[in-house]
């Protein structure tokens, strides 16, 4: 299995934030290993740091294990092939009852380039592939094909409207229902074509492809992306050391809104939590030149305050 390259977004900035209060031997957690960019930087900056990484995708996991072994880093890593919604349980099981907490936790949300660029995974309408879109292809039975062919009209409308913020949801849903009456919709190109023809003629060739928002919506539904994000944020704050930080990188407004509101809520509820980013951190011009996908990335940081004793010395 070839794992396709992924540009690690806001890598330098995220790691700089997380290591600020580092003490020798501290643990970090990377909830979204992907191609390993953030994990590797967290391991490279000091020879005594360790990382507990997660990825629900079996291909990312297999590739990651190989990479970490090849680089002789595997002894400094714990790696869980599971959804990060299982964070607390995994940490309790692997780190034991006396674990003091993480120095930093990073989440670089959404899918990797491997998902977008590998036609068999069915995330992209740029290639023909099965309508799949699952990151976890082992435990999640709910493919995009099932949603498109078996959800009722109301459910489809709700998903595309809410998760895609799609202006032409009504027309798209009508065309999907008509098409699936004739034959099962099972490929990305079939669906792309249906959506393309649901768009008004004069808007079919604008710079955002008509299928973009619907594909985003389906992906979010398939992987329950917003649900698990909301759930994990409160699990993380209970596992931070004093001075420990969460860095959350999101790629669309729905995710960013969840992170922003959750952080605000935590900082209001608890005196020991503070937001370090009034405005989200975005990619520099330099990064954008190297990777145009970084354009939509927004990073927010929340910190558990240092204990008074640690602050002094």
Ligand X SMILES: C[S@@+](CC[C@H](N)C(=O)[O-])C[C@H]1O[C@@H](n2cnc3c(N)ncnc32)[C@H](O)[C@@H]1O
Residues numbered 214-253 forming contacts with ligand X, rule: CB under 6 A: 228
Query: x/- site string to ligand X, residues 21 to 40, per CB under 6 A?
Result: -----------x-xxxxx--
Cα 90 to Cα 158: distance, rounded to the nearest angstrom = 33
Long-range Cβ contacts of 234-238 (<8 Å, 24+ apart): 234/262, 234/266, 235/87, 235/88, 236/29, 236/87, 236/105, 237/266, 237/270, 237/273, 237/302, 237/304, 238/88
CB 308 within 8 A of CB 24: no
134 binds ligand X (CB under 6 A): no
C-alpha 176, offset from chain centre: 28
Of the candidate spans 103-111, 177-185, 239-247, 281-289, the one that interacts with ligand X by CB under 6 A turns out to be 103-111
Query: x/- site string to ligand X, residues 48 to 87, per CB under 6 A?
Result: ------xxxx--x----------------------xx---
Q: Which lies closer to ligand X via its Cβ, residue 35 or residue 176?
A: 35
Q: Where are the beta strands (DSSP E) in 81-161?
A: 102-108
CB 115 within 8 A of CB 104: no
Tokens of 90: 């995994």
Cα 52 to Cα 54: distance, rounded to the nearest angstrom = 7
Of the candidate spans 108-116, 192-200, 254-262, 273-281, the one that interacts with ligand X by CB under 6 A turns out to be 108-116
110 binds ligand X (CB under 6 A): yes
135 binds ligand X (CB under 6 A): yes
Q: Which lies closer to ligand X via its Cβ, residue 135 or residue 156?
A: 135
Distance in Å, CB of 144 to ligand X, minimum:
16
How many residues sit in the footprint of ligand X (CB under 6 A)?
Answer: 21
8 binds ligand X (CB under 6 A): yes
Binding site for ligand X (CB under 6 A): 6, 8, 32, 34-38, 54-57, 60, 83-84, 108, 110-112, 135, 228
């Amino acid at each position: 299995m070839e794992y396709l390259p992924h540009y690690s977004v806001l890598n330098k900035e995220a790691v700089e934030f997380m290591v600020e209060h580092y003490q020798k031997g501290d643990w970090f957690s990377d909830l979204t290993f992907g191609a390993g960019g953030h994990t590797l930087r967290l391991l490279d900056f000091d020879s005594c740091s360790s990382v507990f990484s997660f990825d629900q995708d079996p291909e990312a996991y297999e590739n990651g294990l190989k990479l970490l072994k090849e680089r002789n880093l595997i002894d400094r890593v714990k790696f869980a092939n599971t959804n990060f919604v299982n964070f607390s349980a995994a940490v309790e099981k692997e780190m034991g009852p006396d674990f003091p907490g993480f120095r930093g936790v990073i989440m670089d949300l959404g899918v990797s380039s491997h998902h977008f660029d590998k036609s068999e995974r069915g995330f992209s309408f740029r290639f023909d592939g099965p309508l799949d879109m699952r990151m976890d292809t082992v435990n999640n039975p709910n493919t995009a094909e099932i949603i498109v062919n078996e959800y009722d009209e109301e459910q489809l409308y709700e998903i595309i409207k809410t998760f895609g913020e799609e202006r032409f949801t009504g027309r798209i849903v009508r065309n999907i229902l008509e098409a699936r009456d004739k034959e099962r919709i099972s490929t990305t190109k079939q669906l792309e074509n249906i959506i393309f023809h649901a768009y008004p003629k004069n808007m079919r060739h604008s710079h955002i492809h008509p299928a973009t928002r619907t594909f985003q919506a389906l992906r979010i539904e398939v992987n329950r992306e917003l649900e698990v994000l909301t759930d994990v944020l409160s699990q993380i704050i209970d596992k931070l050391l004093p001075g420990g930080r969460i860095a959350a990188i999101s790629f669309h407004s729905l995710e960013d809104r969840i992170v922003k509101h959750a952080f605000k809520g935590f900082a209001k509820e608890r005196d020991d939590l503070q937001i370090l980013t009034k405005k989200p951190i975005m990619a520099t011009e330099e990064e954008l030149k190297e990777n145009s996908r970084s354009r939509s990335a927004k990073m927010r940081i929340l910190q558990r305050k240092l204990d008074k004793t640690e602050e002094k010395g």
